[in-house]
Amino acid sequence: MSKTIIISNRLPLQISISEDHLEVTPSVGGLATGLKSFHKDGDSIWIGWPGMTEEEIPENLKNKVQQKAREENCVAVHLNANEIDGFYYGFSNRTIWPLFHYFMEYTESDDDYWHTYKEVNQKYADEILKHYKEGDVIWVHDYQLLLVPNMVREQAPDAIIGFFNHIPFPSYEVFRTLPWRDEVLQGMLGADLIGFHTYDYERHFLSSVSRILRHQVDFNQITLPDRIVKVDSFPMGIDYKKFEQAALDHYESTSADQSELQKRLDHHLESTPDAKLILSIDRLDYTKGIAHRIRAYEYFLDKNPEYIEKVRLVMLAVPSRSNVPQYRRLKREIDELVGRINGKFSTVSWTPIWYFYRSMPFENLIDLYTTCEIALLTPIRDGMNLVAKEYIATRTDHTGVLILSEMAGAAHEMNEALIINPNNFEQVAEALKTAFEMPKEEQIERNKMLQKRLRRYSVEKWAGDFMKSLRSTKENRESFQSIKINSEITQEIMTKFQQAERRILFIDYDGTLVNFTDKPENARPDADLKELIRDLNADDKTDVILISGRDKDTLGTWWKDVPVELISEHGVWMRQIDGEWELSENVKSEWMDAVRPVIENFVDRTPGTFIEEKNYSLAWHYRKADPELGEIRANELSTTLKELISNRGLSVLEGNKVLEIKSSGVNKGKASTKKLVGKDYDFIFAIGDDWTDEYMFEDLPEDSVTVKVGIKKTSARYYVEGTLKVRTLLENFRKNN
């Protein structure tokens, strides 16, 4: 039976040693609760680090750790202190975390960290592969494991792999500064589906992929030579029922059951009935804007002294990553700020900030959520921010006001909250005032809408939607129109080839026989290729025709010494085997002087583009332009040209990063079928990568063997992944000639 394999840096349980025996406690984080419904079904395993380094686990307890993990359907990846240092505290938290949250000044580029990160990612990938069986679905989580999808893909090419990034993905301008940007993107692209919390992160990622790796991006799909990768946004929800129920239980509890914290909170409320509590909860992290929040609160008190003694900021900062210097510095900064502000405003009976630097049990979290009438969450950058959602879920009487930073992913779905820019203290202070004065009816109205949305898009729904979309990538793969040429199909084609008396092979040049280069003049045929084409054509039974959009002079020069028929400029010219060129269509060139200046204008306005002048056509290449600008200008130019040439017997061909204007009625379909006239070929083969090759695939007789290069929509019967595979296929023809 197939299973789901979940992989995250940490396991959803924490293993610790207490007096010589192991203790297992469940993790309470959003991810752990979110995936538990999948996990507990028993048909899934979870791979991750159990929370203790190898050095911390005594030799005699090592097997026990694994055993304990297995009892919970988990597999522990053991990491030593050195690995945790380089991989977790190093590359993950000193490079990726700050960079992806736009803290470029904190981003370190350390080669040793990068090496350890790679090694540890490989360790996780190896562990996955140990447990992977065909049909299993693999779901990799978060920024610590960016390389894992491709590491798994290399060993298990047909695996279904999903990746979800829980933190922001930065704009291309920021991401491009990473020295290992190519490797990181390639690592992620091992997945079939890549998920982000918001559309903004998704588009930043797509933009980096198209600009850095130059892959074709169409809407949310990335076309790789052998696969299509889907990218989508799935805003993570919370276990709504759990928080709602906890709040309901909380209200029903008797005073004897109350926690110490709740008693103190109640005491405060009783002694100052018209005072309000403002809640803030985060890990102590510089991305969470804790210092900004305290300063904005100070600004608010300075500006509105009437609120002194009427308000208190209850601030829970959970210790986090204290091995990283910035976190230690931040701790000092917050301690000082809290001290200064408490010193500045405190009265004998009141302090403006209650500050807790610790982690609290779940029950206390609920005490805080339910007791504080205002939540003030002001991250400077935050992938999602689940605390905002949890706060709203616990407000079972629908009262309470959430003030939320627009920089949190959650702000996209929580419009009814008071959305603020955390850098604008004036705006934060205004929002605090609005929150204080907001009538109950308005609070209820806003929260009911928020709750309805959060209840519906819960974490179970989030996980379910992601898995559904991931599984559908497999169906898409299978329903792919053309068939991948594997060894069996190669054999079938070779048998037909051998049995045939007269064979003709139409072979496109750029993107088929050779890879694209930045400059078209650099794509000369190598000696092996020339040898291959010469040998194929040497057999009397076989006619080889190189059919290309290139100009006659370049093609003629490059293939001068090889006796092979050439069709250039999509069929304008044909070169016989003896080297004689003939103009095959009644084509004209007078139009070129009128059209050239229009294209030149686009070249001037679009850096990286150029005109290729052929005998009877003009081509505008935009492969080297900025990908988005290139597409926009290509659309614009195409429309302009179509208006300009109407009724002139010309047409605009839209090829692979090229627009070509030429006489209508000239295309590879017409040119190739013309070659069949009067001959009784019983094996017709055509191969090409471009949109313009589709004319051939459509016009040639139905029993032809038509092959597309790369995964694209096509009317060809088969496909191969890239130019290397094309050569292998042609080598096979040579062997069977």
How many Å apart are CA 569 and CA 666, to the nearest integer? 9
What the block records as the tokens of 621 is 């290449």
Please list, in sequence order, all residues whose beta carbon lies within 8 angstroms of the beta carbon of residue 430, skipping any fewer than 6 positions away: none
Q: What is the DSSP letter of 410?
A: G
- Which residue lies nearer to ligand GDG by CB, 454 or 729? 454
Q: Give the residue carrying structure tokens 């609920």.
A: 366
Beta bridge partners of 276: 311
CB of 94 to ligand GDG, least distance (A): 16
Strands 565-568 and 573-575: antiparallel
- Which residue lies nearer to ligand GDG by CB, 83 or 382? 382
CB of 382 to ligand GDG, least distance (A): 4
- Which residue lies nearer to ligand GDG by CB, 334 or 726? 334
CB of 385 to ligand GDG, least distance (A): 5
What the block records as the tokens of 10 is 């940490």
Long-range contacts of 409-413 (CB under 8 A, 24+ apart): 409/168, 409/197, 409/198, 409/201, 409/235, 409/382, 409/383, 409/384, 409/385, 410/235, 410/382, 410/384, 410/385, 410/386, 412/198, 412/199, 412/235, 413/235, 413/453, 413/457
CB of 33 to ligand GDG, least distance (A): 8
Long-range contacts of 634-643 (CB under 8 A, 24+ apart): 634/659, 636/602, 637/598, 637/599, 637/602, 640/598, 641/595, 641/598, 641/599
CB of 199 to ligand GDG, least distance (A): 16
How many Å apart are CA 88 and CA 310, to the nearest integer? 43
- Which residue lies nearer to ligand GDG by CB, 167 or 720? 167
Q: What is the DSSP letter of 726?
A: H
- Which residue lies nearer to ligand GDG by CB, 238 or 587? 238
CB of 360 to ligand GDG, least distance (A): 4
- Which residue lies nearer to ligand GDG by CB, 251 or 362? 362
Beta bridge partners of 231: 194
Evaluate whether 44 touches 37 at the Cβ level (below 8 Å).
Answer: no
Three-state SS string over 558-624 comes to: HCCCCCCEEEEHHHCEEECCCCCEEECCCCCCCCHHHHHHHHHHHHHHCCCCEEEECCCEEEEECCC
Q: Give the residue carrying structure tokens 């906890």.
A: 246
What the block records as the tokens of 667 is 């295309």
- Which residue lies nearer to ligand GDG by CB, 341 or 377? 377
Q: Is 508 a catalytic residue?
A: yes
- Which residue lies nearer to ligand GDG by CB, 90 or 379? 379
Alpha carbon dihedral 7, 12, 17, 18, in 10-degree steps, equals -170
How many Å apart are CA 220 and CA 205, to the nearest integer? 10
Q: What is the DSSP letter of 77?
A: P
What the block records as the tokens of 288 is 């969470």
CB of 607 to ligand GDG, least distance (A): 37
- Which residue lies nearer to ligand GDG by CB, 106 or 616? 106
- Which residue lies nearer to ligand GDG by CB, 390 or 569? 390
Q: Give the residue carrying structure tokens 């980096």.
A: 208
At 217, give phi and psi (nearest 5°).
-115, 120
- Residues of this chain that interact with ligand GDG (CB under 6 A) are 28-30, 166-167, 236, 281, 283, 316, 318, 359-360, 362, 365, 382-387, 390
CA 375 to chain centre: 32
Beta bridge partners of 468: none
CB of 701 to ligand GDG, least distance (A): 55
How many Å apart are CA 228 and CA 212, to the nearest integer? 17
Q: Give the residue carrying structure tokens 């991989």.
A: 87
Closest CA to 644 of 684, 584, 593, 681: 593
CB of 203 to ligand GDG, least distance (A): 18
How many Å apart are CA 652 and CA 634, to the nearest integer? 11
Three-state SS string over 465-513 comes to: HHHHHHHHHHHHHHCCCCEECCHHHHHHHHHHHHHCCCEEEEECCECCC
Closest CA to 178 of 143, 149, 127: 143
Active-site option among 367, 508, 551, 689: 508
Active-site residues: which are they? 508
